[in-house]
Each structure stands twice: as structure tokens, then as C-alpha cells.
A and B are shown apart, each in its own frame.
Chain A
């Protein structure tokens, strides 16, 4: 299996820059998720790695060797596009055997790999079925087995679960990771779904408007968001705009326009700077009644949205509209119109410079 390195990749289409100076590294056998909204350049990036799109500039290396001059076929990649289609007139077996057959493998070796792949995706007993006789999840597995049957060194998955039901996606995403790990294959998986990314990735690469905005483990991306966009895209966040009052080794203090102060993690920005403080909604809590203390915001519940395990409580406060996503058995009191106080611990609040172009533009998810 291979490691992957990309340096200064750039690709534009008439009128659009799809990728702008993208550099990244993927370790051998890692499961990496490329996460971003529609139009971020995710698919272009995958297609360029697969050799199906030619970059304007920049280089791609597999195990340190440049592959830019290699045709897609010679790169040893298995690419599963978003709108894959199975061969409808061929059985499951023949679909999976397609790659090895075209590549003229010896029959015994071909049959063995097809058997292995079908085993891997739990479809051995459906080898003679036609795609239309299978459920959506099974078709997805056949497509995956077909992509893998060519003995690729790197697996590229473009929104592999998009067409499936939400509940089924939760099962299949674990299967995907397990499969890739069992094979030890280096994998890049593109998605717009942050929950999917967090639940299966070793590393997440957050892409927005053709640029890499953050790279890190799920926990790093989730807890140490580098800018307001990441804070709000990977989960959901509350933001406070104000002026940096003080910053010390243990915390920083921001004064809001209503002269209230909020406390967050330390920052190296200068006192007096215009800043934004961001905190994830699920690091916020609500308690019944009104009280004033550090990072407490009294208000009234506008609405509670029940999500099952959690409830999103929307609170109207003096600084505006804030949300807290809390375990549902701890928020039964929070019905519409109830007085509550929203609060959060300072060590989950991060202070950023005010984004160029303003906070609202920086948060846009489309």
C-alpha cells in the first residue's frame, strides 16, 4: 500500500478555480476523509489523484514517486465515483470479475480474487444475482468489490454512501472502514457529512472553496477548530463578536458590545483586537432559571428540537439567539417560553480574529 503526497495542486475550469494550492500528505494505510460543502473541490481532488483530471500545476506522489505522467490505468487506484453504475445485464460475479478480465488475468487468479472480494463484502451467496435484484446497500457493496478487485494500492471513494438511507449509512460507514483496514489499503473518502467524517476517519481534511482549511484527527478538527467555518461546519457553533480585553496564559477575556464579558482559551492576539469567540453548541448547557456567572447567558427558550439522544435548545438572550445541544434526558424542562440560562466552560471556547469579509460570509456552508 502506498503513502500519498500532494504539493501545490491547482486546477481551474473556465470561470472557476476548483483547487487552489492544495498540499497534503496521507500515510500508508490511513483512512482519510475529505470533508467539505458542495463545490469545495472534493471531487476534482479525487479525480486528479485518480488521473482522470489533469491538474494545471502541482505534483502528486505515491510512495515518493511522481505519478503525474502516469495514465489513470497505471496508477493502481480504485476509484468509485459518486454516480457509479453496475453493469445491469451482468451478474454480481461478472461485475466484480470485470476489471481482472479486462486486464487479462489468468483465470484461476481472477476467480480467486473475485471470491475474496465477494467474501469481503458479504455477498458470496448473491454471486449469481443481477444488480436490480439487490437492495441499494448491496449494490453499493458490489460496486466497492468491483473497484477493489483490480488489486489497487489506493482506494478513492466519492460520497460512497450518499444514495443510501440515513440509518443504513450509519451501518455501512463502519463496514467501509473495517474493510479498508482489513485490506490495509490507503483510502481517501469524500463526503459533505461531518458526522460520517468523524466516525470513520483517521485524519480529516476540511476543504472549502478549493483550499485546505484544516487537517487533523477527528478530535483535533472537532475540538481545536482553526476558524469559525470549521467550528460551525463540523458540528454547530455559537459565536460572539467583541473586543479582546485581556489574554493570559490560562484564558482570554472578550468584551461584547453589551459590555458583558466572555472567557475563552488563551490567544496570542493583541489586546484591543476585534475578535470572534466560538463555542460548539454541544459544549453548551442549559439550566432552569436565570443566573449570572462566568459565561452564563440568561434567556428564554424559543424552541426545543428533539433529536433522539440529544435536544437542541434554542435560547433568545440579550446577545441574540444561542443554541445548546444537550442530552435529551437532561433537558425535559426546556419547553418553549421557559426561563433558562445557557452556559459553557471557557476551555471549550476559542477566540479567532474577525474573518476577512465578516463573520456571516465566513460561515456560509454553500
Chain B
């Protein structure tokens, strides 16, 4: 039995459709991230799961029971908000005590639960502080402790890291994942940050315009995205439009604009079919290898980016691609003509979307 199941959940605010027919299952003990751009409906979905909002249609089952009409106070879950919502006049410890107290734990149980929760997030030493005396990251840890102190085994995290500095977010990702797994909780975590989603979750649900686009494990979503939108939203990608010119023995030839030609593996393509090819910037190399394709272009810009060096190339047909190489392997100079190679197995192929490529990739 799944821990959470939404069945045909839709939500409309007046004429605006925030969610449309969402079916989602979260298994017991699973950490699921709901990822998508602003306005995709991810926050609406988690609020409906939490019981803060009711769906216009459909229902929510938690542990097999229909909880669609159960108010949040009666649900057994912990909730962490994007905007830290600690009680400002209460100490960190009293904030952590609040949930167990409201739920009618016995006094010694209230003490024990709050203490354990504070210990888990590493705030026991600072339990007497008021929220305002803590940094943003520590405040969000206190919020997490408050949610954990309920001893609920379902944790809902609504953009829990978005208000924090980039560097602090990276630290807290580790904390979140470790806690959820160590305590054997089921967690649903809403975010617009693809790296955050992939690093914390067992499975990622990609949403757009009120619908689920695709669900998958992080590595699968990154390496084999089934949808063009995912291929662009989860990590960066180069997209090249073309037309299949021939297919033989599982290998297809694709002609790009300007007469450029590439080879790719495919059993299902038909000659004449319009396609979009996707190749990640990090999959290029300066040396040929097995199953190699070649692209030639002028290096417009090279830029050090820390763990890699990014190159912007204009191909012979005028299209631009990004090529990322390890800094120690990067010897391309601005202004020169360069050949870059990539393994055709790394290239993904999609049917050209009826609405056009731009529309299919649009981030807002």
C-alpha cells in the first residue's frame, strides 16, 4: 500500500487551473521531490496533500484512508514551510515542544520528543535561543525539528531551502536526506531547483502547467529524460532540429539545418521524420572515440566555470552549442575553428513537438 496516493486531483482558482488530474503515488519510506518552474502547481499539490487546501476534484489517500476532507491539525504529518514560520517569541525548544503538546503527548513525552528532534538537527546547544538570534539556516533547522517532534512518519517540505543562501542550501540538503533516511520517514519535498531535487530524492516528479510531465529516479531523469521539457529543465542541454534521411540496421542518419549530418542509434525512426536531438554540454570531447559524431564550429567564448570550462561554439549552420570540458583538457581558443566529438549513444532523440521547440522548452 502506498503511503500517499492522489487520484485525479484537480484544483481551480476561479478560471485558473492550478492542477489538472494529478495521479501520484509515494511509497512508504520514499523521498520524493516535486520539481517544476514557478506556477507549475507543485505548491498547490503539496498543500492539498497536507490538507491545507482541498482539491476541486479527486481525492487524497494517506495509508489507504481518504483524507481529502481531514483538516491539517488532524493529520499525522510534519510540515516545513518556505518562509520560516517559527513562533518568534518562543525559544527554539518551546517551538519544538509545540507540536507534541498540541497533539496531547504526556509531559515527559513532550520533553523527550522535542529533545530528540533538536538533537537530530544539531540544535540542542542552542535550544534556549529565540529564532531571531539564529542564522537563516539554523532557523530552518529549528523548523525541521518542530516538524520532526510530532513523531509523524510523513514529512512535507515546501521549498524548505529556497530562502537560504546558496552555500547553506548545499549543506542542508545533506542534512535533510540523512535525517529522512535515518528515521525511515516518507518525505515529499517541493522545489524549483533541479540539483536540489536530484540530490535529496529517491524519485523526482517533474511538473509543468498543472500536470505531471514525467516521474523517475534522478539518474534516469538526467541521463534518459523521456520528455524534451525534462531534458532542458533538469540540467542544461543542446538541442538541434533535423530530419531523418535514412535508417539502416538500427542506425539513423539525421540532417540538420544547413546540410550538417549526424548519425544516431534508433530502431523506431522513419525516413523523413522531423526530430530534435539533445546532447549535454559535458558529453563532448576533443578526441574521437567509439560511435563518434563530429561537429565543427567557431569558438565564440571560453569561460572558466570552476569544475569545468564552458565553450560557446557557432556551428557552420549558424546554430550555437555549449561544450563543457574539464579545465585541464580545455585548449580551445576564442576565435578558432574547432572540431568537437561525441558518442552517439549519449545523444537523445525526440519527435519534433507540434507546438515547436521553443514552446516545449519554455521555463516560464
The answer to whether A binds B is yes
Would you call B306 and A192 a contact (CB within 8 A)? no
- Which stretch of B21-29, B131-139, B251-259, B331-339 is in the interface? B131-139
- Which stretch of B87-95, B115-123, B166-174 is in the interface? B166-174
Would you call A193 and B166 a contact (CB within 8 A)? yes
Distance in angstroms between the alpha carbons of A229 and B118 in the assembled complex: 27
Would you call B222 and A328 a contact (CB within 8 A)? yes
Contact A198-B306, Cβ < 8 Å, known A166-B193, A306-B218: yes
**Which of B219, B303, B307 has the most A CB atoms < 10 Å from its CB?**
B307
Distance in angstroms between the alpha carbons of A298 and B54 in the assembled complex: 53
Q: Of all chain B residues, which has the CB nearest A134?
A: B364
- Chain B contacts for A195, CB-based, 8 A: 166, 305-306
- Chain B contacts for A366, CB-based, 8 A: 135-138, 165, 168
- Chain A contacts for B233, CB-based, 8 A: 167
Per-position 1/0 for A189-212, Cβ under 8 A of B: 000111110110000000000000
Q: Of all chain A residues, which has the CB nearest B163?
A: A162
Distance in angstroms between the alpha carbons of A214 and B234 in the assembled complex: 33
Interface residues on A, range: 35 or more
Neighbour of B280 across the interface among A38, A282, A309, CB < 8 A: A309
Would you call B178 and A166 a contact (CB within 8 A)? no
- Chain A contacts for B39, CB-based, 8 A: 135
Secondary structure class of chain A's binding surface, majority of residues: mixed
Distance in angstroms between the alpha carbons of A139 and B102 in the assembled complex: 43
Q: Of all chain B residues, which has the CB nearest A305?
A: B199
Q: Does B37 contact A (CB under 8 A)?
A: yes
Q: Does A303 contact B (CB under 8 A)?
A: yes
Would you call B282 and A306 a contact (CB within 8 A)? no
Distance in angstroms between the alpha carbons of A312 and B171 in the assembled complex: 12
- Chain B contacts for A235, CB-based, 8 A: 306-307
Distance in angstroms between the alpha carbons of A95 and B193 in the assembled complex: 31
Distance in angstroms between the alpha carbons of A307 and B200 in the assembled complex: 9
Q: Does B183 contact A (CB under 8 A)?
A: no
- Chain B contacts for A171, CB-based, 8 A: 363
Closest Cβ of chain B to A277, distance in Å, is 20
Per-position 1/0 for B270-301, Cβ under 8 A of A: 00000000001010000000000000000000
Q: Does A278 contact B (CB under 8 A)?
A: no
Would you call A199 and B363 a contact (CB within 8 A)? no
Would you call A166 and B38 a contact (CB within 8 A)? no
Per-position 1/0 for B295-326, Cβ under 8 A of A: 00000000111110010000000000000100
Q: Does A365 contact B (CB under 8 A)?
A: yes
Distance in angstroms between the alpha carbons of A314 and B170 in the assembled complex: 14
- Chain A contacts for B137, CB-based, 8 A: 365-366
Q: Does B5 contact A (CB under 8 A)?
A: no
Would you call A194 and B37 a contact (CB within 8 A)? no
- Chain B contacts for A314, CB-based, 8 A: 174
Distance in angstroms between the alpha carbons of A168 and B194 in the assembled complex: 11
Distance in angstroms between the alpha carbons of A167 and B208 in the assembled complex: 13
- Chain A contacts for B59, CB-based, 8 A: none
Would you call A165 and B192 a contact (CB within 8 A)? yes
Q: Does B235 contact A (CB under 8 A)?
A: yes
- Chain A contacts for B218, CB-based, 8 A: 306, 308
Q: List CB contacts (< 8 Å) of A149-188 with chain B.
A: 164-168, 170-171
Contact A218-B306, Cβ < 8 Å, known A195-B166, A366-B136: yes
Q: Of all chain A residues, which has the CB nearest B173?
A: A305
- Chain B contacts for A309, CB-based, 8 A: 222, 235, 280, 282, 324
Q: Of all chain B residues, which has the CB nearest A306?
A: B218
Q: Does B236 contact A (CB under 8 A)?
A: yes
Per-position 1/0 for B190-202, Cβ under 8 A of A: 0011111011100
- Chain B contacts for A355, CB-based, 8 A: none
Would you call B195 and A166 a contact (CB within 8 A)? yes
Contact A365-B37, Cβ < 8 Å, known A167-B194, A305-B173: no
Contact A222-B304, Cβ < 8 Å, known A137-B364, A192-B167, A327-B282: yes
- Chain B contacts for A312, CB-based, 8 A: 199
Distance in angstroms between the alpha carbons of A85 and B106 in the assembled complex: 49
Distance in angstroms between the alpha carbons of A138 and B192 in the assembled complex: 18
Q: Does B209 contact A (CB under 8 A)?
A: no
Closest Cβ of chain B to A350, distance in Å, is 16
Q: Does B226 contact A (CB under 8 A)?
A: no
Q: Does B177 contact A (CB under 8 A)?
A: yes
Distance in angstroms between the alpha carbons of A325 and B363 in the assembled complex: 28
5 interchain pairs, CB-CB under 8 A: A135-B39, A168-B364, A219-B304, A234-B306, A305-B177
> Which B residues are closer than 8 A to A by beta carbons?
37-39, 135-138, 165-168, 170-171, 173-174, 177-178, 192-196, 198-200, 218-219, 222, 233-236, 280, 282, 303-307, 310, 324, 363-364
> Which A residues are closer than 8 A to B by beta carbons?
37-38, 135-138, 164-168, 170-171, 192-196, 198-199, 217-219, 222, 233-236, 280, 282, 303, 305-310, 312, 314, 325, 327-328, 365-366
